Amino acid sequence: MKICTFLTDGFETVEALAVVDVCRRAGIETDLISITGKKEVKSAQNIMVNAEYTITEYQFDGTELLFLPGGPGHTHYLECGQLVELLKDYNDKGRRIAAICAAPSVLGKLGFLHGKKAMAFPGYEKDLAGAEVILKPEKTVTDGNITTSRGMGTSIDLGLELVRLLAGREEADRIGKAVQYL
């Protein structure tokens, strides 16, 4: 099992790293991939994070899920041609994609959400083109190959949902209890 978490300058720190933390606790290989051309990436909160790879050097073989954290930098995802092509390929093949906060708007702009349930940070619902927008109290929603979540406060929920999808309900419950979430 392998997840690729994409980082760009302006990503939301907790949205990225909480999901990575939860997934790694479940034994799911979760790699940090920079789309900036350099491994050092600055979050929206001015925290420097060293990605393990750049997108140009990464081998995506065996990757089961692509994850886009939100934050003001989310618009850079659409500027990265290699990432856009990868997302399109995954979606066309029904492979898993997850996004949180403002990042689900990227999936909407790419046309991936037509006829699917989806959510985003309040104010970005208009960018979920063709989706059935899900509002509170839900914290995450999975519809087919797409999983979306609302924002920083739902990061652990998203991490546990990805664990459920890739490693099963029992493992998600085990991690939830271990981190005092459940």
Quick: pLDDT tens for 42-57: 999 999 999 999 999 9
Cβ count near 103 (within 10 Å): 29
Quick: pLDDT tens for 6-37: 999 999 999 999 999 999 999 999 999 999 99
Quick: pLDDT tens for 46-99: 999 999 999 999 999 999 999 999 999 999 999 999 999 999 999 999 999 999
pTM of model > 0.95:
yes
Average pLDDT over residues 140-149: 98
Q: Which two tokens stand for residue 71?
A: 């934050």
Proportion of the chain in helix, strand, coil states, percent, rounded to 5: 35, 25, 40
For 2, counting Cβ atoms within 10 Å of its Cβ (0-12 exposed, 13-18 middle, 19+ buried), the class is: middle
Q: Are the beta carbons of 142 and 164 closer than 8 angstroms?
A: no
How far lies 146's CA from each of 102, 113, 132, 150, 153, in Å?
A: 15, 8, 13, 14, 20
